[in-house]
């Protein structure tokens, strides 16, 4: 099984805490990525119900799945893996957030994926790169408009 890697980078006109919170909230993350995402299990962390151990259900056409948050370090890191559904035998993602000068922030987003089924990995790599990339750019544009208007 070949492991495919997706790497994305995006800068935002907002503080790192605000951006981290937006990605940490499962439903909000779904809206940003134009997907229906619902938290189906809360984290045991009373300060972050979307934190470690929380599970989100992604209602992706043809491949609904569940992702479990493995690490959550406010405001710098979110790691998750698919734990149910999907033809992927390996899917692990991590988002690293950094503070930039002038109240800006950045996100390094990496996903590893692999499947024993031929062509599934390369096809999902293309689809995820497009879908997630568009979502990141749209969110960055929305934050820029808010900053310019305010």
pTM, full prediction: 0.93
Please, which residues have CB within 8 angstroms of residue 82's CB and are 6 or more apart in sequence? 65, 66, 67, 88, 91
Per-residue pLDDT reduced to its tens digit, 98-148: 999 999 999 999 999 998 888 888 988 998 899 999 999 999 999 999 888
Sign of CA dihedral 80, 131, 110, 95: negative
Distance in angstroms (rounded) separating the CA atoms of residues 127 and 142: 22
**Domains in the chain, start-ordered, CATH in brackets?**
4-149 (3.30.530.20)
**With 90 as the cut, is the pLDDT of residue 60 above it?**
no
SS3 content of the chain, % helix, strand, coil (to 5): 35, 40, 30
């Amino acid at each position: 099984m070949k492991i495919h890697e997706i790497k994305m980078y995006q800068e935002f006109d907002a503080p790192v805490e605000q951006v981290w919170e937006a990605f940490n909230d499962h439903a909000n993350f779904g809206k940003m990525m134009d997907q229906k995402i619902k938290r189906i299990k809360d984290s045991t962390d009373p300060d972050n119900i979307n934190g470690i151990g929380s599970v989100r259900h992604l209602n992706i056409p043809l491949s609904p799945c569940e992702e479990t948050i493995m690490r959550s370090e406010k405001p710098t890191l979110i790691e998750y893996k698919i734990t149910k559904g999907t033809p992927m035998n390996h899917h692990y993602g991590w988002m690293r957030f950094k503070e930039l000068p002038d109240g800006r922030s950045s996100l390094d987003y990496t996903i590893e994926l692999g499947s024993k089924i031929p062509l599934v990995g390369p096809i999902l790599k293309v689809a995820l790169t497009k879908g997630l990339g568009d979502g990141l750019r749209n969110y960055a544009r929305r934050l820029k408009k808010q900053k310019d208007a305010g």
